[in-house]
């Protein structure tokens, strides 16, 4: 059965952060919350934020249930006696400030744009991203003018489940109206991307990134259907891959 769809991971595979400081973003988040009327001591907030983030990180990585940032920010604020509901619009406003530096730090890996253009010439193209705040992904795609290449954009916050859980892969396949065996997934994480996609029935391509090397995928014990040195190699071989059976 020939390939009908190519799906990509986003952060690590197509874009990478450069010179990003989480601590600076946390300080900006605190200032934004104060400006929104949710004033707290900065030291207390950073400590409470760290504890809440860690509690939910365990849920996200062990149970693969995605948790959006508003939940642990609200939890942090409430723990230091600043009462707020997770649906409070002030949280979203502050989170937009929090993520702006991260969005600005993302750079498109060469030659990702050419790869996406080539993929569109042969198949339906989709994106599956593990991310706690979907608006940040959409903003980044607009900023780099690459959102137009995707017929389906699936973010874990919107689905409620993270890769490698099968649910998020199934959501992308439904959106593209293809069967698992008709799709190939390209990613840089041995566990989240390659193992997750294979268990969902997709063919897989591993590409190394600043986060995961060729040695990492070898040592993981996960066997990708194809392994390439970089995106340029994939771009060169893409017509052959798309026409494979």
Looking at every residue in the chain, the average pLDDT score rounds to: 96
Residue finishing a domain among 104, 125, 146:
104
Domain count, the chain: 2
In a shared domain, residues 126 and 222: yes
In a shared domain, residues 207 and 127: yes
In a shared domain, residues 99 and 112: no
Domain extent, residue 86, equals 22-104
Percent of the chain with pLDDT over 90: 96
Residue finishing a domain among 40, 69, 104:
104
Residue finishing a domain among 85, 104, 123:
104
Q: What is the pLDDT of residue 228?
A: 97
In a shared domain, residues 99 and 153: no
In a shared domain, residues 82 and 120: no
Could you report the per-residue pLDDT of 176-198, keeping only the tens digit for each? 999 999 999 999 999 999 999 99
Q: Distance from CA of residue 15 to its chain's centroid?
A: 10
| pTM as predicted | 0.95
The confidence band for 174, taking pLDDT boundaries of 50, 70 and 90, is very high
In a shared domain, residues 79 and 119: no
In a shared domain, residues 135 and 47: no
């Amino acid at each position: 059965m020939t390939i009908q769809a190519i799906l990509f991971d986003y952060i690590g595979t197509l874009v990478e952060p450069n010179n990003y400081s989480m601590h600076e973003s946390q300080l900006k988040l605190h200032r934004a919350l104060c400006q929104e009327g949710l004033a707290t001591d900065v030291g207390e907030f950073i400590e409470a934020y760290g504890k809440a983030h860690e509690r939910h990180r365990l849920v996200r990585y062990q149970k693969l249930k995605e948790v959006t940032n508003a939940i642990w920010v609200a939890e942090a604020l409430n723990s230091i006696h600043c009462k707020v509901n997770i649906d409070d619009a002030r949280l979203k406003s502050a989170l937009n400030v929090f993520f702006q530096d991260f969005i600005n730090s993302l750079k498109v890996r060469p030659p990702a744009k050419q790869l996406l253009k080539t993929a569109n010439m042969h198949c339906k193209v989709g994106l599956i991203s593990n991310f706690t705040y979907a608006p940040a992904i959409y903003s980044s795609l607009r900023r780099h003018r690459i959102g137009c290449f995707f017929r389906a954009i699936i973010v874990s916050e919107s689905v409620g489940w993270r890769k490698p859980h099968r649910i998020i892969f199934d959501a992308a396949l439904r959106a593209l109206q293809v069967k698992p065996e008709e799709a190939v997934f390209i990613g840089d994480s041995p566990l989240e991307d390659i193992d997750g996609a294979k268990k969902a029935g997709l063919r897989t391509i591993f590409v190394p990134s600043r986060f995961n090397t060729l040695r990492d995928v070898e040592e993981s014990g996960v066997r990708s259907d194809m392994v390439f040195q970089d995106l340029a190699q994939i771009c060169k071989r893409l017509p052959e891959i798309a026409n494979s059976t």
